[in-house]
Structure 1
Amino acid sequence: MANIDVLVGKTLTKIGGDREYELYFYTDDGECYRMYHDQCCCETVSIEDICGDLDDMIGAPIQLAEEVSESGDDGEWGGTFTWTFYKFATAKGYVTIRWYGSSNGHYSESVEFERWEAAE
């Protein structure tokens, strides 16, 4: 797994993926990074909202890339939840990708970010 801050200083050429369960970040130096969650039975983790325009991340170096999360008990059936916010900035603008995960309390609700060998 990689830290999201590996994108700082990189310039994105494209962002792909279904924008619900995964995103792919393609850089001008030929790298690709995948943001996703590997779903299991008693959990759901997905992109809840994208605030800003993903196109603002294309063609300008990433100046800020940070992850902030908050977890808690949902108060029902012993379940838990996790909000994970990914905040990005370029000279063109700001983007926040908000993920929401919930489970019965026994599964991961975290988002994975990794370098990905992609066939474009």
Structure 2
Amino acid sequence: MYGNYLNVDVLLGKTLSEIKNNNNHELLFYTTDGEKYKMYHDQDCCESVGIEEIIGDLGDLINSPITMAEEVTNQGETDWGSQTWTFYKFATNKGYVTIRWLGESNGYYSESVDFVKVENEES
């Protein structure tokens, strides 16, 4: 159902037709050429990973070619474990959007965000 893990820069030059936000736990990106990409995290027991904030209007990324798509991460320690901030920065000629994810765990679990191409998905 999912292809290999990808870097978000695979979206450079592509035009998005829709972006769906599923309760700040995953984003689905649909391209005008029929492709679908998913940004998400498979939750485990002692961790929490989700979208903390979307800065800008996701609508600015629709129907205009993506001119910037990059990921920046920052990690730190907390009193009970660790945390990872992952920032996804996207732009078109209509605007700029930053999607800020926060992952927290006891230090033994992944806090990363995955980005994959969805293939052969059953409805």
TM-score, normalised relative to structure 2: 0.92
1:22-76 Cα shifts (integer Å, max 9, x gaps): 00000011100000000000000000000000000000000000000000111x1
- Corresponding residue of 2:43: 39
List per-residue Cα deviations over 1:68-101 (Å, max 9, x = no partner): 0000111x13x00000000000000000000001
Q: Which runs of 5+ in 1 are unaligned?
A: none
Distance (whole Å) between structure 1 residues aligned to residue 68 and residue 24 of structure 2 = 23
Distance in 1 between residues matched to 2:63 and 2:38, nearest whole Å: 18
> 1:17 Cα deviation (Å)?
3.3
Where 2:22 maps in the other structure, the secondary structure is: coil
Q: Does residue 57 of structure 1 match 2:52?
A: no
> Distance between the aligned counterparts of 2:122 and 2:62, measured in 1?
19
Deviation at 1:16, TM superposition (A): 1.2
Residue equivalent to 2:88: 86
Q: What 5-or-longer segments of structure 2 have no aligned partner?
A: none
More displaced stretch, 13-22 vs 98-107: 13-22
Residue 100 of structure 1: aligned partner: 102
User: Which stretches of structure 1, 4 residues or more, deviate above 6 A after TM superposition?
Assistant: none
Matched, 1:28 2:63: no
* Higher mean displacement: 9-18 or 106-115: 9-18
